[in-house]
Amino acid sequence: DAKTTQPNSMESNEEEPVHLPCNHSTISGTDYIHWYRQLPSQGPEYVIHGLTSNVNNRMASLAIAEDRKSSTLILHRATLRDAAVYYCMTRMYSGGGADGLTFGKGTHLIIQP
Amino acid sequence: DSGVTQTPKHLITATGQRVTLRCSPRSGDLSVYWYQQSLDQGLQFLIQYYNGEERAKGNILERFSAQQFPDLHSELNLSSLELGDSALYFCASSTRVFSTDTQYFGPGTRLTVL
C-alpha cells in the first residue's frame, strides 16, 4: 500500500463545499484509493473508494487526478455532522489476500456554524 | 448503526489481568478484523479472521490472541495487561476478503488498565 500524505487539519463553514486533498505519489496501477472517516467517539466509517475514474455516492465525491498521484474527497455541502477525522489510504487489489486497513493520521475537519 | 456489535462498552481492570472483548459481525459477513486505537499509536490493525480461520496478522502482541467461532462472532483475549494496553479496541467486519470490500466498524470497547 502506498504512503499517503494529508493535511493535519482543515476548517470550513457549514453548508459550503469541502475539498480534502490526499497525495499518494507512489501508488501502483492496481491500488485502489479508499476514504474512511471517524466521527467523535465512534468507530471509523466507510466514505468512498475508487481506482481511476471519479466516483460519486450519497455521502461524497472522489476526484482522482489523471496520473493518480493525488485525489480529493469532496463534501458538497458540509454540515456540522461532517466534523470528523478523514483518512485516505491506498489498497492493492487482492481477491484473497486482503488484510487490515492502514490508517495514517488523517485530516481533522472542523466545521464552523 | 453499522450492524457490528461489541461488548462490553467499557472495561476497567488492573495490570496483570486478562480480559476478553467480544464482537458480533454484521449479518452475512464472514470476515472480522480487530484494531487498537491509542493516543500515541493511532489506529492499528491487529488481526483478521475469515470464516473461522486466521487470515492476517498486523501489530498484535504475543500476549493478545483472538478467535472466530462457528457462529462467526469473534473474541479478542488480552492477557498480562500493562498500562500501555489502555486503548479503544474496534472490531470491523466485511463480506469477504477482497481488498475493495467495505469494512464496517463497531462502536468499540474502551479498555482502561490501572
- Of all residues in chain A, the one with the smallest CA distance to B49 is A99
Q: What is the DSSP letter of A5?
A: B
CA distance A96 to chain B (A): 6
List pLDDT tens digits, range A15-42. Answer: 999 999 999 988 888 888 999 999 998 9
**Residues A36/A60, Cβ–Cβ less than 8 Å:** no
Q: How many CB atoms lie within 10 A of CB A44?
A: 26
> Most B CBs within 10 Å: which of A101, A102, A105, A108, as the mutation test of the B interface?
A101
**Residues A88/A104, Cβ–Cβ less than 8 Å:** yes
**Chain B environment of A32 (Cβ under 8 Å):** 99-100
List pLDDT tens digits, range A62-74. Answer: 999 999 999 999 9
> E strands within A1-113?
9-13, 18-23, 31-38, 45-50, 55-56, 61-64, 70-75, 84-92, 107-112
The answer to whether residue B3 neighbours chain A at the CB level (below 8 Å) is: no
The answer to whether residue A11 neighbours chain B at the CB level (below 8 Å) is: no
pLDDT by residue, tens only, chain B of 114 residues: 889 999 999 999 999 999 999 999 999 999 999 999 998 888 899 999 999 999 888 889 999 999 999 999 999 999 999 999 999 999 999 998 777 788 999 999 999 999
- Of all residues in chain B, the one with the smallest CA distance to A49 is B100
Distance, in Å, from the CA atom of B108 to the CA atom of B89, rounded to the nearest integer, reads 5
Q: Point out the least confidently predicted range of A38-47, A71-80, A95-104, B32-41.
A: A95-104
